[in-house]
Amino acid sequence: MAIEHDPLRFVSGLSAKLATRSRHVCTLFGAGTSKACGLPDVAELQRKILAVLPAPQRAALEAQLVGRNLEAGLSRLRRIPALLSGDQKIDGITAADAIALDRAICRVIISEVDIARADLAATRHFASWLARANYHFSVEVFTVNYDLLFETALEELQVPYFDGFIGNLRAKFQTDLVEATPGSDQDAIPAFFTRLWKLHGSVNWEWSARQVVRGGQPAREDVAAAIYPSDTKYEESRRVPFLVLQDRMRRALHQPETLVLVAGYSFGDEHLNELLFDAAVRRERTEIAVFCYSTIPNLLAEQARLTPNIQVVGDKEAIIGGVRATWSAPEADIPDIFEEGRFLLGDFRRLAQFLAKSASREPDVDARLRQLLEAVVAQQSPAAGQG
């Protein structure tokens, strides 16, 4: 008889793990979570940028994109100014051309990921889970997305969070506070503060005097947003937030009893993949649950079959305990979890709903939180866009 995985058993086990207050819970979110909220992913951003740039800048960007995606192309573009002076050129552009193109790209990205275009229902559900979380250690939310979806939802629902910066108008990055282990004597941020770590920067980060600052609004038009870490080794000061946050992720994954939820992430970042896979191998009690919208990436499937503490679920199949198999159909659909032969938690909207319902206690939530959640439920439609 062919082996099949039981969706109800998986969900029940996940709920039990989430209910354990001693767990150190982390999440890693990729572009699929933003896409679930109606914003473009990296591939869509690339198409939109190329469509609006004037012909000379479009040709210059296309030269950087040969064999690369948008993020890798942007990183390469940012190396050019440091290598050139005067009228010297690389790929037909000067240092001044590269700087202008960088700013033009960032302006398009900022426009396209404007949260005015987004449906915040999913991130509000996620924020409501964080509002009710009662773990001994702070929940650490890692994301490679540039947009302000999570910040907006957290602030709407009045969930306190720390993102590595201190200040409002021109906030400075505080390395010592980021590096402190949650729950340790050196940790100056209360445990009930969610940690929001934006691994690839944000549209409201910008470089100022060779350091990254975070503003209250998206980056100004006359500067490039600090999005996606440059690998330029001769500009270490410009890499500080990114390097510190990646190291924060490495240490977080190695904390005892860590549960990591991964969603909307395509496993296209080799360094982050290495951090995840290394933690799974070295820390047997670290558990990683990956939610795929549909197909399971081959790289992830190969690792999960060798590493039992990586569980991967797709819409039609799963890899649990190193065994890859299809889902067994329950006797009746499980609303919002398994319907019409598909496991639904790979859709960030469904996962966020599941998390919002998984909270084991009802704290004293203010009226604003209750009103927002009721509005989310009333406005939701099964016909919402796919994530």
pTM over 0.85, yes/no: yes
Span 218-245, pLDDT tens digits: 888 777 788 876 555 445 545 678 889 9
pLDDT at 234: 41
pLDDT at 224: 73
CA distance 199 to 239: 11
**Tokens standing for 7?**
């969706």
pLDDT at 373: 65
CA distance 207 to 231: 15
Give the single-character DSSP code of 206: E
Kindly state the average pLDDT of the residues 85-92: 90
pLDDT at 359: 65
The dihedral of CA 213, 219, 224, 226: what is its sign? Answer: positive
Cα–Cα distances (Å) from 348 to 121, 142, 158, 272, 292, in that order, read 10, 15, 21, 20, 9
pLDDT of residue 251 exceeding 90, the answer is: yes
pLDDT of residue 143 exceeding 90, the answer is: yes
pLDDT at 229: 64
Rounded to the nearest integer, the mean pLDDT of the chain is 88
How far is residue 309 CA from its own chain's centroid? 21
Q: Which residues have a Cβ under 8 Å from the Cβ of 32 and sit 6 or more positions away?
A: 41, 263, 264, 265, 266, 293, 348, 387
pLDDT of residue 368 exceeding 80, the answer is: no
Kindly state the average pLDDT of the residues 127-150: 94
Span 148-200, pLDDT tens digits: 999 999 999 999 999 999 988 889 999 999 998 776 777 788 889 999 999 99
For the chain, domain boundaries: 4-39+119-379, 43-112
User: Where does 4-39+119-379 sit in CATH, by number?
Assistant: 3.40.50.1220
Q: In this structure, what is the dihedral angle of CA atoms 252, 179, 143, 115, given to the nearest 10 degrees? A: 150
* Secondary element (H or E) of residue 128: helix 121-132
pLDDT at 366: 46
